[in-house]
Structure 1
Amino acid sequence: MADDAAPPPIQRKIIHVDMDAFYASVEQRDDPDLRGRPVAVGGSRARGVVAAASYEARVFGVRSAMPSATAMRRCPDLVFVKPRFEVYRAVSLQIRAIFADYTDLIEPLSLDEAYLDVTDDRLGRGTARAIAEEIRARIRADTGLTASAGVSYNKFIAKLASDQNKPDGLCVIPPHKGAAFVAGLPVKRFHGVGPVTAQKMERLGIVTGADLRDRPLAFLQAHFGSYADYLYRAARGVDDRPVRSNRPSKSIGAERTFDTNLTDRDALHAQLSHIADAAWARVAKSGAQGRTVTLKLRRADFHTITRARSLNQPVRDRAAFLAIGGELLDAQLPVAEGIRLLGLTLSGILRDGDRDAETEPRQASLPL
């Protein structure tokens, strides 16, 4: 009798490459006076938001998207450097050219990180580990910068692994170790679990991956709704998402909920400026361009309003982004009961490195 059983699914070999403190490292590479010093790219001593921080600055708790004033309080010797996005994009293209020697399945997440599916061992390197090591060595030789990499059987674990031995590190998690690796991590490290969700989980007694794994799906659905299925699978090291070289475009933005409801126009515009700083830092980091600016406004009674404006060409810079947002805001004012939340996003996104086609892995013989 013929065996009609379906063949087992191909075990993917995924590498997540993440440049180490990319913007700040480029600045330290190009200016020897900055080497060994705490550096913040973006913002200034007076205002703005940190777009990136060197490892010397991170020791003091300085992080991206942090207001400059907060960063200064944490690190008084912090050196602020104006971002040079054209340089970062050029370096990013160098790095992606290296990736392209090993696979066509490249999914950029931003200028400084990407997923690679190397299931098809195009150059015959023998293992995914060997490919990751070679890529890291070539990045160092060609750009003078370091990269960390995670190697595993799916995207979720590969991304976690790339952060495991930073900076300038490599971490390989084979399939038989995936569930145990995830179980031992704090859930706040899981991709998609932000500070608010992490705090909610902690209140529910969920601190580690093991804690999350021990909660039944019904419990997670009751507390996290549609997000529950992702959490349930992630806690078990399961992620079936393919590396997509033509990732669908998404919006990029930021929002802020205020401690007290705001009615004053000047105060609202000041807050919108801070939100635009945070949002545009993410836009710049992603290497994205977009044509549509959307304002989100939530009144004190929790009624939410969104208003958008689309241009015939991409929004050129942060000033234009904020100007459009300000006009959309003014069109809604005054709001007598006050505003408790504002948000500003860019959509209609085109990203550097997007490709037109996606192909499937062709063999399953490459070990991790």
Structure 2
Amino acid sequence: MSRTVRVSAARRNWGEDDSGCDFMHVDMDSFFAAVELLEHPELVGKPVIVGGSSARGVVTTATYEAREYGVHAGMPMSAALRLCPHATVLPTRHYIYRAASAAVMEILREITPEVEQVSIDEAFLGIGGARRRLGSAVEIGNLVRERVSNELGLTATVGIASVKFVAKIASTQAKPDGLLLIPQPQTVPFLHELPVGALWGVGSRTQEVLHRIGIDWVKELAEADRSRLVRALGIASAHKLQELAQGIDRRQIETKQVDKSISHEETFETDLRSAGQIEAVMLRQSHQVAGSLRRKGLLARGVSIKVRSGSFKTLTRSTSLPTGTDTGKTIYEAACRLFRQLPLPPDGIRLVGVKAERLLSAALGVQALIDEDPKQRRVETAADQLRERFGSDVVSAATLLSERGKREERHLPKDDLFPQE
């Protein structure tokens, strides 16, 4: 559920010349909600919110009718219903979304073998080879949309460009249920119509930094003095972002399948009854997960937890992240937020697990590496190197542990198995 800024001027017809436009980005429209509407046709055209319905529930996605009221993914359900009180709330059902996603990707792979799935509801396609069989880039884009609609009853938006990330931006600007071709000569003019926040890789923190140095538009970023950008953003981020603003992106389609998730879980010999002890376990697990992400060159855009009670009742909760991450601190904070939404079982907890989900290649994760605290990532990367050299127990997240110790403990109804901190 993208909240990327859209500019009406950017959605116009940029021309019909698709020579060299071999990149396509397919993005399903309001995917989870659209899948739900297949089973609830009476709700089509009405505001629908998918997510947790409890007092602490969170919005997973919403139809465009609900988004018009300001509803967006990640906001508390209570806030969403204040904005749109007449919306229908449906529970999140990941198993049907996974099945629908598999059907969409099967269609895409029948059109071209060059498919790079980057999340459950979007993929890049390399269409250079498919042209000989299926026609022009626009004809292939329309074929994708027609097949998804006719065979699955869902709508997809398509962006087509000569540069990979521009295809992604084009699909964002074309939403919902649209197709936008950016001919190769129009790449830079198209980008320069956009505010800098629309550029793939510029999150809220980076946008604030750029605003402070007088850069609010992609055109201004492309023409900015490199030394000013380096002072504001650092060498790597300044170089990468300015190249993107100038329409330069050398990445190709990566058909190698990315892991769907990375998780660590632990079953305890004695059921735990202290929230502080459980969060300490999640702290360790979060850093284990983050270390695996960094080793594999992956970023997570979602976090989930699993908690099993002493009576073997299993609860799971998940959340989306605003940007991809490979830092234990970010994963831990998300896991703790989820854990604190759960009722603490009176019979204790026998198992806890933390999972990183919605994984994508770190090569696509410009925004995460810029918007996250670079010092935190450097610290964790340095810790990776120490563990690799001296062993896994040589270093731990002391700062986070000390912060946890300062927080007020929540205890389960029975006597605590551990002394209060």
TM-score, length basis structure 2: 0.61
**Paired residues for 1:18-167 under 5 Å:** 18-121=27-130, 124-167=133-176
**Partner amino acid, structure 1, of 2:148:** I
Contact 1:14 1:118 (C-alpha < 8 Å) held by counterparts: yes
Cα gap change, 1:250 to 1:180, in 2 (>3 Å): farther
Contact 1:45 1:80 (C-alpha < 8 Å) held by counterparts: no
Match of 1:235 among 232, 238, 245: 245
Task: Tell me how far apart the structure 2 counterparts of residues 68 and 59 of structure 1 sit (CA, whole Å).
Answer: 16
- Percent identity between matched residues is 36
Contact 1:45 1:72 (C-alpha < 8 Å) held by counterparts: no
CA shift, 1:114, in A, is 0.4
1:273-302 CA-to-partner distances (Å, cap 9, x unmatched) read xx858992339xx9xxxxxx985289xxxx
Cα gap change, 1:174 to 1:334, in 2 (>3 Å): closer
Cα gap change, 1:279 to 1:196, in 2 (>3 Å): farther
Alignment of 1:210 with 2:219, yes or no, is yes
Contact 1:99 1:135 (C-alpha < 8 Å) held by counterparts: yes
CA shift, 1:249, in A, is 4.8
**Partner amino acid, structure 1, of 2:248:** V
1:192-230 CA-to-partner distances (Å, cap 9, x unmatched) read 211121122222221111111121222211111121121
Alignment of 1:332 with 2:365, yes or no, is no
Aligned match of 1:168: 177
**Partner amino acid, structure 1, of 2:254:** R
Alignment of 1:296 with 2:329, yes or no, is yes
Alignment of 1:280 with 2:318, yes or no, is yes
Cα gap change, 1:235 to 1:66, in 2 (>3 Å): same
CA shift, 1:121, in A, is 2.2
Match of 1:222 among 221, 231, 244: 231
Aligned match of 2:25: 16
Query: Secondary structure, in 3 states, of the residue corresponding to 1:177?
Result: helix
Contact 1:46 1:69 (C-alpha < 8 Å) held by counterparts: yes
Task: Tell me how far apart the structure 1 counterparts of residues 64 and 317 of structure 2 sit (CA, whole Å).
Answer: 23
Task: Tell me how far apart the structure 2 counterparts of residues 162 and 111 of structure 1 sit (CA, whole Å).
Answer: 16
Contact 1:252 1:279 (C-alpha < 8 Å) held by counterparts: no
Contact 2:210 2:232 (C-alpha < 8 Å) held by counterparts: no
Task: Tell me how far apart the structure 2 counterparts of residues 93 and 186 of structure 1 sit (CA, whole Å).
Answer: 34
1:322-350 CA-to-partner distances (Å, cap 9, x unmatched) read 9446xx99x936755669xxxxxxxxxxx
CA shift, 1:11, in A, is 4.5
Task: Tell me how far apart the structure 1 counterparts of residues 327 and 202 of structure 2 sit (CA, whole Å).
Answer: 24
Contact 1:15 1:150 (C-alpha < 8 Å) held by counterparts: yes
Task: Tell me how far apart the structure 1 counterparts of residues 239 and 55 of structure 2 sit (CA, whole Å).
Answer: 44
Match of 1:201 among 203, 206, 210: 210
TM-score, length basis structure 1: 0.69
Task: Tell me how far apart the structure 2 counterparts of residues 247 and 48 of structure 1 sit (CA, whole Å).
Answer: 32
CA shift, 1:132, in A, is 0.6
Q: Which has the higher contact order (CA 8 A, sep 6+)?
A: 1
Task: Tell me how far apart the structure 2 counterparts of residues 97 and 105 of structure 1 sit (CA, whole Å).
Answer: 12
1:142-173 CA-to-partner distances (Å, cap 9, x unmatched) read 01111110000111100000012211100000
Question: What is the root-mean-square deviation of aligned Cα atoms in Å?
Answer: 3.9
Contact 1:178 1:237 (C-alpha < 8 Å) held by counterparts: yes
Task: Tell me how far apart the structure 2 counterparts of residues 239 and 28 of structure 1 sit (CA, whole Å).
Answer: 37
Query: Secondary structure, in 3 states, of the residue corresponding to 1:101?
Result: helix
Cα gap change, 1:279 to 1:154, in 2 (>3 Å): farther
Aligned match of 2:188: 179
CA shift, 1:251, in A, is 7.6
Task: Tell me how far apart the structure 1 counterparts of residues 39 and 173 of structure 2 sit (CA, whole Å).
Answer: 27
Cα gap change, 1:44 to 1:21, in 2 (>3 Å): same
When structure 1 is superposed on structure 2, of 22-31 and 67-76 the one drifting more is: 67-76
Contact 2:201 2:241 (C-alpha < 8 Å) held by counterparts: no
Task: Tell me how far apart the structure 2 counterparts of residues 99 and 62 of structure 1 sit (CA, whole Å).
Answer: 30
Task: Tell me how far apart the structure 2 counterparts of residues 223 and 251 of structure 1 sit (CA, whole Å).
Answer: 34
Dislocated runs of 4+, deviation >2 Å = 247-253, 275-283, 293-298, 322-325, 331-339
Q: How many residues align?
A: 290
Task: Tell me how far apart the structure 2 counterparts of residues 77 and 233 of structure 1 sit (CA, whole Å).
Answer: 45
